[in-house]
Amino acid sequence: MNRIDTFLELAVKQGGSDLHLIAGNPPRIRLLGEIQPVKYRELSSDEARDLVYEIMSARDQEMFESRHNWDFSYEVAGLSRFRVNVYQHLGGIGAVLRVIPSQIKTLDELGMPDALKGLARQRKGLILVTGPTGSGKSTTLAAMVDLVNSQRKGHIITVEDPIEFVHQNKVCLISQREIGSHTKAFADALHSAVREDPDVILVGEMRDLETIALAITAAEMGILVMATLHTSGAVESMDRITNVFPPGEEPYIRAMLSTSLCGVVSQQLVRRADNKGRVAALEILLNNAAASNLIREGKNDQLDNVMQGGGLQGMQTMDSALRRLVEANEITGEDAFLKAHNKAEFEHMVD
């Protein structure tokens, strides 16, 4: 047992999402979206370094010392997996350990709408799960991959930095690759993946032009591609993808997106009204004929109208999702106001 495991066990038992170890500060845990200090002394620079180095391999230490920040995964048997980011700062070393549950929850257990099941059952195309850091994107994608793994005979390839949820073969054959350990970059892994007879490819994050282009191309080739973006909504996701390409290529990319996109799920985690955990608020865009035409023509700002009118198909805007959660007394009006896009519509809900 490593010394850091005691803090990790505390974080997991309290329902925390992240453990922060920063030299010059006591350990802190993020609970319900807010960082709370642990009753412990301030960590010296040497103590913080020793705690983190104890769980790093020789290669991890070498990469950190050359780059001054590094990502890797760590697992405590019988407790949980953790995604670790270690970095150098003014006072010494710092590390953030994100809790990754050992058991993958199903979409039903997460309380996700049926529209996500419909997306996961698609045979080809691009599915985007977006949201800010810590919004549960990885958890949602893991549940969608697990649904495929339970219902479809095929080959699933995941490319992550680092590997978070570990999937066991059910009906599918699963290959999980980690950036740095198994491949140099997302783009390299995607180049290789299309030759590895995949049915589904999970891209941990679409960060650059080459990765985005390869993901869209794979979707056009008849592969189901699931990926994440750090955007705040469906409209912003379409803008992000098209704007990353040179101006002359935008019409071509819009045309590819209009035919290959299955849907966009944008989510935020909101504190429950009873302070017992958080609930996901989801914006859902499904690519129907109206959405496809708008994407092709570059009229992304009108996609909100498609989502508002597509309720029977399972679509919804973020603000409508928040409104339903308030009406169901699952979240407070104040928290809905803080997360809403059009805050003017939620001002009357604030006490």
Q: Residue 112 and residue 343: Cα distance in Å, rounded?
A: 24
* Domain membership flag for residue 107: no
Check pLDDT > 80 for residue 130.
yes
128 with 232, same domain: the answer is: yes
Residue 24's domain spans which residues? 4-100
CATH number of the CATH domain containing 39 = 3.30.450.90
> If pLDDT is split at 50, 70 and 90, which confidence band does 180 have?
confident
Q: How many domains does the chain have?
A: 2
H or E element at residue 243: helix 234-243
Q: What's the CATH code of the domain at 292?
A: 3.40.50.300
Q: Are residues 193 and 68 in the same domain?
A: no
| 13 & 44 share domain | yes
Of the pLDDT bands very low, low, confident and very high (cuts 50, 70, 90), residue 1 is confident
To 5 degrees, how large is the angle CA 168–CA 83–CA 233?
90
Residues 91 and 140 in one domain: no
In a domain, 322, yes or no: yes
328 within domain boundaries: yes
CA–CA separation, 332 and 325 (whole Å):
8
Give tens-digit pLDDT for 139-153: 999 999 999 999 999
269 and 209, same structural domain?
yes
Confidence bin at 188 (pLDDT 50/70/90):
very high
- Could you tell me if 93 and 120 lie in one domain? no
Residues 280 and 150 in one domain: yes
CB 223 within 8 Å of CB 244: no
Amino acid in the structure at residue 145: V
- Provide the pLDDT for residue 181: 86
106 located within any domain: no
For residues 306 and 311, what is the distance between their CA atoms, to the nearest angstrom?
9
Distance CA(260)–CA(32), nearest Å, equals: 36
What confidence tier does 29 reach under pLDDT thresholds 50, 70, 90? very high
Per-residue model confidence as pLDDT tens digits over 256-279? 999 999 999 999 999 999 999 999
Q: At what angle do helices 234-243 and 250-260 cross, to 10 degrees?
A: 140
Whether residues 92 and 148 fall in one domain? no
Closest CA to 204 of 243, 162, 250, 154: 162
| 153 and 212, same domain (yes or no) | yes
Express each pLDDT in 84-118 by its tens digit: 999 999 989 999 999 998 889 999 999 999 999 99
What is the rounded distance in angstroms from the CA atom of residue 75 to the CA atom of residue 102? 9
Residue 201 to residue 227: CA distance in whole angstroms: 8
Among 100, 125, 151, the domain-final residue is 100
Radius of gyration of the chain (CA): 21
- Indicate whether 108 belongs to any domain: no
pLDDT of amino acid 323: 97
Cβ count within 10 A of residue 10: 15
Tell me which H or E stretch contains 304: helix 303-309
In 3D space, the residue among 304, 331, 338, 143 whose CA is nearest the CA of residue 236 turns out to be 304
Write down the H helix ranges in 126-198.
137-151, 186-193
CA dist., res. 111 & res. 195, Å (int):
36
Supply the pTM of this predicted model.
0.91
